[in-house]
Amino acid sequence: MSITIHAPYEVPGTEEILTDEALTFLDELHTRFAGTRNELLEDRRAAQAQAARTGTVDFPAETAQVRDSDWTVAEHPAALQDRRVEITGPAAPAKMAINALNSGAKVWLACLEDALAPNWFNVIDAQRNLAGAASGTLEFTSAEGKQYRLRDDVEAPTVVVRPRGWHLPEKHLQVNGTPAVASLVDFGLHFFHNAKTLTAQGRGPFYYLAKLEHYKEARLWDEVFSFAEEKLGIPHGTVRATVLIETLPAAFHMEEILYELRDHASGLNAGRWDYLFSLIKYFRASGEKFVLPDRAQVSMTQPFMRAYTELLVKTCHKRGAFAMGGMAAFIPNRREPEVTAKAIEKVRDDKSREAADGFDGSWVAHPDLVELCSAEFSAVLKDQPNQLGRQREDVTVSAADLLDVAAAEGDVTEAGVRMNLYVAVYYTAIWLSGNGAVAIHNLMEDAATAEISRSQVWQQIHNGTVTADTGVTVTNDLVSTLLDDEVERLRGEIADDEMFTKFFEPAAGIVRALVLDEEYIDFLTLPAYELLP
């Protein structure tokens, strides 16, 4: 076996997860699929370079027959027929997993990706919690003695696990001296330990697939699923996958992605925040017409975002797949009733719009929003579990519609630049401390929103953007000064000096490099990952 473990410290329960048999399974996955994954990552770089040169992307010509022919995805299992409200959150720590399982949502998106900082403890703890969720035995007692257990008075949500994207490494496990592929580690460990249990229950194994950029990447996942099913004696097609359309190129490959996964496909999700990040990244140096307004002004009602979501609904229902809405960033604050009232109204508007557009369900990030989201979809669904019958034949979306960033209303402001720097540093610090999702000023921030923040600043510098509120050009010198200001602001807000020194100072260094370096770094989490234990 070519896999070796590089554990920086002991984590309780590691021996339950990293068994010899599980590691052998991971070794086989890497032997068969890691090489193709590496080739596909090279293809990504070439595609992005071409888009940067041409300033455009289009639907792939070589797959026109797929788009024009008549086919549907496989029939859906009962456990996924009703997805009107899905709660998202990290699979570690255990108390957050239990809160999600007790929330009353139809589905729990158990995140091993953008909402989980992949330090060694979280990698192992998340797998233990997912095993506990599958067996119904998950429980936790805090240091203060508070007990967390699964409720028996509500139906537990169907668990859909989100492994890390193809681009990410797992440095704690190495294959022939090279960091393992994080996607294969996350999927492989969960599948190996839980597939038979979940299959017997008729509740999985189900997955959300993140950061895909091409239909060939979906094909690779389909091959992984088929191999894993055969290896463990699970019937072909038991695995079901919902793909997040959260990169710009994936928006042009929606039908092809479903086609490649058709025996295993469940649906597509409008991963709005990563989608904005990807759009900025793809056209970061392609001119002022691709410079977005301040992040706070880029709502789902902007024309290019409407085109993206309406195309997603039409595509999914045409192919018999579920269309899942995205995450509203606003979250309630139980200590601030006025803030909560405003958040609830914004989330209600968001979910009402999605239900009216034909989505089959949507995401929330907080248990207090589950009932609200369910109510908005129930008002449209009536006695139906989903809207698969609504075809949206009224929708026509062109490549130009998806790329019409110039039509977006709003401005770039110095206040917006400051907020981007503040959020990027704050989130990166919390990520380094081991938490992958955090509420900042009553908005739920994860890696995707931090990526938008730092990418907007880089793009504004390289396009000489002029701020609408102060009339100054965004330059390296200006951003450096503003970043110093925001770091000092954070220093005044963080009461724990040790935490500031340990996490916020290195986070500020990472963000400074990301926004000021001439070379754009594709993912914030790659340099930050080097500092995770």
The pLDDT of residue 434 is above 90? yes
The pLDDT of residue 1 is above 80? no
Q: Residue 49 and residue 64: Cα distance in Å, rounded?
A: 23
Per the prediction, the chain carries an average pLDDT of 96
pLDDT tens-place string over residues 249-272 = 999 999 999 999 999 999 999 999
Q: Residue 259 and residue 399: Cα distance in Å, rounded?
A: 20
DSSP for 410-473, please give it: ----HHHHHHHHHHHHHHHHHHHTT-S-EEETTEEE-HHHHHHHHHHHHHHHHTTPBPTTT--B
Q: Which pLDDT score, from 0 to 100, does residue 333 have?
A: 81
pLDDT tens-place string over residues 131-173 = 999 999 999 998 889 999 999 998 999 999 999 999 999 999 9
- Kindly state the average pLDDT of the residues 368-373: 95
The pLDDT of residue 437 is above 90? no
Q: Residue 323 and residue 388: Cα distance in Å, rounded?
A: 8
Other Cβ atoms less than 10 A from the Cβ of 338: the count is: 8
Q: Which pLDDT score, from 0 to 100, does residue 343 have?
A: 85
Cis peptide before 249 (omega within 30 of 0): no
Q: Which pLDDT score, from 0 to 100, does residue 336 have?
A: 84
Predicted confidence band of residue 332 (pLDDT cuts 50, 70, 90) = confident
- What is the DSSP code (8-state) at residue 330? B
Instruction: Specify the length of the chain in residues.
Output: 533
- What is the DSSP code (8-state) at residue 73? P
Q: What percent of the chain has pLDDT over 90?
A: 92
- Its pTM stands at 0.97
Q: Which pLDDT score, from 0 to 100, does residue 431 have?
A: 97
pLDDT tens-place string over residues 268-288 = 999 999 999 999 999 999 999
Amino acid at 411: D
- In order of their start, the domains of the chain are 3-58+79-327+335-400 (3.20.20.360), 411-531 (1.20.1220.12)
The pLDDT of residue 342 is above 90? no
Tokens linked to 454: 């730092």
- The CB-side HSE value for 27 (13 A sphere, CA atoms) comes to 14
The pLDDT of residue 204 is above 90? yes
Q: Which pLDDT score, from 0 to 100, does residue 32 have?
A: 98
Indicate which residue of 128, 350, 446, 454 is catalytic: 446
- Kindly state the average pLDDT of the residues 376-389: 97
Tokens linked to 32: 């068969």
Residue closest to 85 by CA, chosen among 322, 379, 361: 361
Catalytic residue flag (residue 294): no
- The CB-side HSE value for 314 (13 A sphere, CA atoms) comes to 14
C-alpha to C-alpha distances, 182 to 118, 140, 530, nearest whole angstrom? 10, 27, 14
The pLDDT of residue 331 is above 90? no
- What is the DSSP code (8-state) at residue 290? G
Q: Which helix (H) or strand (E) holds 88?
A: strand 85-90
Cis peptide before 179 (omega within 30 of 0): no
Q: Which pLDDT score, from 0 to 100, does residue 229 have?
A: 98
Give CA angle at 327 (510, 109), nearest 5°.
90
Indicate which residue of 162, 164, 240, 262 is catalytic: 162
DSSP for 113-172, please give it: STTS---HHHHHHHHHHHHHHHHT--EEE-TT--EEE--SSSPPPEEEEEPPPTT-EEEE
pLDDT tens-place string over residues 44-64 = 999 999 998 999 999 999 999
Q: Which pLDDT score, from 0 to 100, does residue 90 have?
A: 96
Q: Which pLDDT score, from 0 to 100, does residue 51 have?
A: 93
Q: Which helix (H) or strand (E) holds 37?
A: helix 20-54
Catalytic residue flag (residue 446): yes
Helices 20-54 and 272-282 cross at an angle (nearest 10°) of: 50
